[in-house]
Amino acid sequence: MSAVTVSSKYQVVIPEEIRKEMHIKPGQKFEVIIFEGCLELVPIKDVRSLRGSLRGIDTAIIREKEDLV
């Protein structure tokens, strides 16, 4: 676990080992979320980068009886 310090400009530096492990690049954008008292950074991905990520997913679903009408 790595500790960071908030600067006077409210900035933090993501430690190098975390940047490498998470493949974080300069200019990459993140959504900042507060969840159960924790601050979370969620990478914002370009929709085009998600193309093909669901290939092979089973799209057959069992519907409720009232939906079959």
pLDDT tens digits, 10-27: 999 999 999 999 999 999
Give the per-residue pLDDT at 67.
65
Centroid of chain to Cα 25 = 14
Task: Name the band, by pLDDT with cuts 50, 70 and 90, for residue 69.
Answer: low
CATH topology (fold) of 12-52: Pemi-like Protein 1; Chain: D (2.10.260)
